[in-house]
């Protein structure tokens, strides 16, 4: 957690919003809160440069057609001017957005962004030293927005990982019992993916597998109208996603250990991963049937239109679900091959097919219309494991072990290709 010697900042509350600034917040800032899709696998150079490489992406992402773009508005907007860290997070992102949209590259514009960012860091650090503050929803949301700032600022992966790790530790220590309000559930829903991603990259188990957290996640999905007809599929999908880091860690510990695992532990892990893979196949089949039925009813391909409780249209892009299902199966099959190459020799070929499928989805998403920007952003966030799998194919296919597990150096090559650190201490600092 935070150091007890953090810089003390003046706890002033922002003045009331001007009409023009309020409009800017509503029309531009709050749309940014949903740029991280529900899987939230945002990491790697591809994702962090998604906006800076193609500035038009920022304009497309701010379009009113973006699904669920007002999702956080009822929660964050009334708190602006009331909670300092949250207010500073809003100001920080707004300053960066204004710089990007207006394409101002002047030193003064950059200085404003850096000043806002520094003040935000100091305020969050101050909050983390105060138990009454670090337990608050506003502080947690501010930390989440700090990660969003990294996303649009093309910050380093390590910087994003530190923020994701900090938010993960806060959520875990806060406890599932304290996630009851709609605001808390919205924050958690947007943070689940980063929690899983950070756990995978740092070789840690995911605390979201605990039963109390499963209930909270289910509640968050059920309360979100954006998921609508796919709720049952997404709930099942999340069950597999939160288990992903645990499977990865167990396999890593066995493959890299100096002593072989016990037969019981070894067989149990393989059986569990196989069971999850079979379940994922079932979910994939159900999803394809649901999608086919939706296409025949609505007459659309790739996007389903449905009204929310206010009569507004929501665009549910199945590309997000398809990409996540494919990625989950890819990880399961590659781990099975790594644990028993001789027994699961066909799994590597299947893994490569799934990896190519993910890359094809990424390519197709970039060719779609502008209103599919969310799908394109999502796919840019799923290619990290697929690309690493393809890059290490030649290493994994040669000199396959006749017995036992894959060679440690081959497994580490895959981890390194995806930016995964096997031996790494917990990263909980926000700096």
Q: How high is the pLDDT of residue 369?
A: 45
For 151, the domain range is 19-305+312-417
> Could you read off the pLDDT of 120-151 as tens digits, one per residue?
999 999 998 887 788 888 998 888 788 777 76
Q: How high is the pLDDT of residue 16?
A: 42
**Is the pLDDT confidence value at 312 over 80?**
no
Domain for residue 358, yes or no?
yes
Q: How high is the pLDDT of residue 348?
A: 93
Total of domains in the chain? 1
Q: Partners of 315 in the beta sheet? A: 305
Instruction: Name which residue leads in pLDDT, 237 or 62.
Output: 237
Kindly state the greatest CA–CA separation across the chain.
70
Q: How high is the pLDDT of residue 252?
A: 96
Q: Which two tokens stand for residue 195?
A: 């929690």
Question: Could you tell me the pLDDT band of residue 402, with boundaries at 50, 70 and 90?
Answer: low
Under 8 Å between Cβ of 321 and 237? yes
> Could you read off the pLDDT of 339-376 as tens digits, one per residue?
999 899 899 999 999 999 888 877 766 555 444 444 44
> Could you read off the pLDDT of 263-290 as tens digits, one per residue?
999 999 999 999 999 999 999 999 888 8
Q: How high is the pLDDT of residue 82?
A: 85
**Is the pLDDT confidence value at 249 over 80?**
yes
Domain for residue 3, yes or no?
no
Domain for residue 2, yes or no?
no
What mean pLDDT is reported for the chain? 74
Domain for residue 235, yes or no?
yes
Q: How high is the pLDDT of residue 373?
A: 42
pTM for this entry: 0.78
Domain for residue 14, yes or no?
no
Q: Summarize the confidence of residues 408-413 as an average pLDDT.
A: 94
| Burial tier of 405 (Cβ tally within 10 Å: 0-12, 13-18, 19+) | buried
Domain for residue 428, yes or no?
no
Domain for residue 202, yes or no?
yes
Under 8 Å between Cβ of 196 and 206? yes
Cβ of 317: how many Cβ atoms within 10 Å? 23
> Could you read off the pLDDT of 160-185 as tens digits, one per residue?
777 778 888 889 999 999 998 888 88
Domain for residue 10, yes or no?
no
Instruction: Name which residue leads in pLDDT, 102 or 179.
Output: 179
Buried b (16+ CB within 10 A) or exposed e, 197-222: bbbbbbbbbbbbeeeebbebbebbbe
Question: Could you tell me the pLDDT band of residue 94, with boundaries at 50, 70 and 90?
Answer: confident
Question: Could you tell me the pLDDT band of residue 298, with boundaries at 50, 70 and 90?
Answer: low
Share of the chain above pLDDT 70, in %: 65
Give the separation between CA 279 and CA 214, rounded to whole angstroms: 17
**Is the pLDDT confidence value at 294 over 90?**
no
């Amino acid at each position: 957690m935070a150091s007890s010697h953090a810089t003390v900042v003046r706890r002033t509350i922002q003045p009331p919003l001007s009409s023009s600034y309020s409009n800017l917040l509503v029309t531009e800032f709050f749309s940014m809160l949903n740029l991280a899709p529900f899987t939230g696998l945002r990491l790697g150079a591809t994702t962090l440069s998604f906006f800076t490489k193609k500035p038009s992406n920022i304009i497309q992402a701010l379009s009113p057609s973006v699904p669920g773009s007002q999702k956080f508005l009822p929660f964050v907007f009334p708190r602006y001017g009331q909670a300092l860290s949250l207010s500073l997070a809003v100001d920080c992102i707004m300053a960066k957005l204004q710089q990007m949209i207006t394409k101002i590259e002047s030193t003064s514009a950059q200085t404003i962004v850096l000043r806002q960012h520094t003040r935000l860091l100091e305020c969050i650090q101050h909050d983390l030293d105060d138990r009454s503050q670090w337990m608050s929803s506003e502080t947690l949301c501010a930390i989440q927005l700090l990660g969003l700032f990294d996303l649009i600022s093309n910050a380093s992966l390590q910087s994003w990982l530190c923020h994701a790790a900090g938010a993960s530790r806060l959520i875990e220590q806060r406890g599932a019992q304290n996630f009851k309000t709609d605001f808390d559930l919205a924050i958690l829903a947007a943070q689940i993916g980063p929690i899983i991603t950070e756990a995978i990259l740092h070789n840690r188990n995911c605390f979201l597998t605990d039963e109390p957290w499963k209930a909270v996640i289910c509640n968050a999905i059920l309360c979100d109208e954006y998921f609508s007809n796919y709720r049952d599929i997404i709930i099942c999908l999340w069950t597999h996603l939160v288990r992903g880091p645990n499977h990865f860690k167990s396999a890593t510990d066995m493959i890299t250990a100096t002593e072989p695992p016990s037969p019981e532990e070894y067989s149990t892990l393989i059986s569990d991963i196989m069971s999850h893979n079979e379940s994922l196949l079932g979910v994939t089949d159900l999803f394809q049937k649901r999608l086919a039925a939706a296409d025949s009813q609505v007459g659309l391909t790739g996007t389903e239109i449905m009204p929310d409780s206010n009569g507004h249209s929501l665009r549910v892009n199945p590309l997000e679900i398809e990409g996540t299902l494919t990625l989950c199966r890819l990880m399961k099959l590659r781990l099975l091959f790594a644990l028993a190459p001789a027994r699961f020799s066909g799994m590597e070929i299947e893994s490569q097919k799934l990896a190519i499928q993910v890359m094809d989805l990424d390519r197709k998403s970039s060719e779609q219309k502008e209103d599919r920007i969310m799908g394109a952003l999502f796919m840019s966030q799923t290619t990290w494991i697929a690309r690493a799998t393809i890059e290490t194919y030649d290493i994994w296919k040669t000199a396959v072990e006749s017995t036992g597990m894959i060679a440690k150096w081959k497994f580490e090559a895959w981890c390194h290709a995806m930016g995964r650190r096997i031996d790494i201490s917990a990263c909980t600092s926000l700096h």
